[in-house]
Structure 1
Amino acid sequence: MPQTITQKILAAHAGRDTVDPGELINVRIDMALANDITAPIAIDLFEKSDMGAVFDPERIALVPDHFVPNKDVRSAVQVQAMRAFARKYHIKHFFELGEMGIEHVLLPEQGLVLPGDVVIGADSHTCTYGALGAFATGVGSTDIAAAMITGEVWFKVPESIKFVYDGQLGEWVT
C-alpha cells in the first residue's frame, strides 16, 4: 500500500516498514524544542523525575525568543532557568541572548532540522518545519519533559486527504 511522506517518516522513526492512519505508535525524535515560555515548565517537570541525564544533549534545543530582551524580572528568571538547565545537562543547542533569533527560523538556519526528521516543539508554530520535509508538530511542555527523558513520543498516525484537480488552469495561474 502506498504511504504518504508523513507515514514514511513516522514508520522509519518507529522502526517499522509501514504505519496506518489512526494507529498509535511510539517514535524516536530527532529534536525536542522549547522556548523561554515553555521550557521552564518542562525543566521543572524533568527535574521532578529525578533523571540523572537527558536522553541526548545534542537533540534538545532551548531558544529564548519570546521576551528578548527580557521584558521584566520574571522573564529574565525563565531564561536563567533555561541557561542553568543547559549547563547542568550539557545541552549543546542552548542559544544565548545575541546568538539566537526566532526559534522556527533559527533551527533550520543552524542545520538542526532536516528533511525526514521528527521534531517536536512546545510551540504551536513547530509545524512550519513541514515545509522542509520534516514531520514536526507542537506539543505541550509535559511532552517535552517526557521526550527529554526518553527520546521518544507517541503519535496517532494522521489521516490524509487526496486532492484531485481537473480542468485547465486559467491565464496567469501557475
Structure 2
Amino acid sequence: MTRPMTMAEKILAAHAGLSEVVPGQLVECDLDLVLANDITAPIAIKTVNEIGAGVFDRDRICLVPDHYSPNKDIKSAEQTKVTRDFAHEHKITNYFEQGCMGIEHALLPEQGVVVPGDLMIGADSHTCTYGGIGAFSTGVGSTDAGVGMATGRAWFKVPE
C-alpha cells in the first residue's frame, strides 16, 4: 500500500512515471510547459542553440514579452526581437506578441495554457503562482529553462 501523497508529490510522481515519491527524493520529470519572457528568454534561447537539438515541442513552450512592453530602449527592443525571431523560427504556438498579451502569470491560466495537474517551469520567479490553480510550477534560471525547451525534461527535489 502506498502512503498518502500531497498534490505536489502526486504531480511529480505522475510526470516521473513513478507510483510514488517521497520528500527529498530527486526525480527527473516530463514537462507540460516551459515559460520565458523578454528578459529571460534570450539566455534560454542561447542554451537551446548551444544544445543544437531545437525545441522539444513547439506547443509546450510559452514566450510572453511582458516585462519590456512597450520597449523602454534599444537594448530591450533587441531582447524582444531575439524572443520574437526564435518564436517565429520554431513556430512556437504560445508566443504572445506585444500588444496581444498581458501579464504572463495571469495570461496563461486565462488562455488555458496551464491547467490543474500540469508540471511546468518558468524563467521567472513568480512562476510558482500557477500552484494556485493546482499545477506544480516553479521558477528556474534561464539556462534550466533552455534545457527544458530543448529536452522537455527537468529534475526536481520533492518538497517536504
Classify the TM-score, shorter chain.
Answer: over 0.9
- Given the alignment, which residue of 42, 45, 50 partners 2:44? 42
Q: Percent identity?
A: 60
Larger Rg: 1
Where does structure 2 lack aligned partners over 5 or more consecutive residues? none
Q: Which residue does 1:153 correspond to in 2?
A: 154
Structure 2 counterpart of 1:78, one-letter code:
Q
Matches within 5 A, 1:91-170: 91-159=92-160
Structure 1 counterpart of 2:11, one-letter code:
I
Q: Which residue does 1:63 correspond to in 2?
A: 64
Structure 2 counterpart of 1:18, one-letter code:
E
In 1, the alpha carbon distance for the partners of 2:50 and 2:9 equals 34
How far is 1:72 from its partner? 0.4
2:68 is the counterpart of 1:76:
no
How far is 1:149 from its partner? 1.2
In 2, the alpha carbon distance for the partners of 1:38 and 1:147 equals 13
In 2, the alpha carbon distance for the partners of 1:154 and 1:88 equals 27
Tell me how large the CA RMSD over aligned residues is: 0.7
In 2, the alpha carbon distance for the partners of 1:49 and 1:136 equals 24
In 1, the alpha carbon distance for the partners of 2:33 and 2:124 equals 13
How far is 1:102 from its partner? 0.3
Task: Give per-residue Cα distances to partners, 1:15-39, cap 9 Å, x unaligned.
Answer: 1110011000001111100001000
Using the size of structure 1 for normalisation, the TM-score is: 0.89
Task: Give per-residue Cα distances to partners, 1:40-96, cap 9 Å, x unaligned.
Answer: 011112112222x21000000000011100000111111100111011111111110
How far is 1:119 from its partner? 1.2
Structure 1 counterpart of 2:91, one-letter code:
H
Q: Which residue does 1:9 correspond to in 2?
A: 11
In 2, the alpha carbon distance for the partners of 1:26 and 1:145 equals 16
